[in-house]
Structure 1
Amino acid sequence: AIVMDVAMPEMDGIEAMKVIRKSNPTIPILLSSGYSESELVFGKEQGSQPDVFLPKPFSISDLQNNLAKILSPC
């Protein structure tokens, strides 16, 4: 799984997620931000949504639970 923030230097997390999804569409992605989900524009095309969006601040147990959710087999 990949865990990343929306605000990153060079390329923001949303653009990075789209690039990653093009080369590996099945890799689980957890995206986090201090911005609310409604403030972010993920897009509607396939691969433009994270598996989990985790708003900041979050607890370690929130992170663990969400990672377990996206890493568990269906």
Structure 2
Amino acid sequence: MDTHFFAGLTKFKLDAGKHRRDDDFADRFSHNFTTLLLVIFTLVVSARQYIGKPIACWVPTEFTRAQEEIWII
């Protein structure tokens, strides 16, 4: 591999210990709240899809069981 590529990547090093202070309380709250809300909605949608009532599909009678499984999944 090209060593210049990896040398260039070191410029983009992220340091989790440093905090930026160019945003106020409302910005920080919005960032955290939005992330939390997206995670909660993702969990709710995933739970309803995988744990709750599965999707019910109507398939023609000429389909075999294997074809039904393929198209439903």
Q: TM-score, normalised by structure 1?
A: 0.26
Structure with the bigger percentage of strand: 1
Structure with the bigger percentage of helix: 2
Largest Rg, 1 or 2 = 2
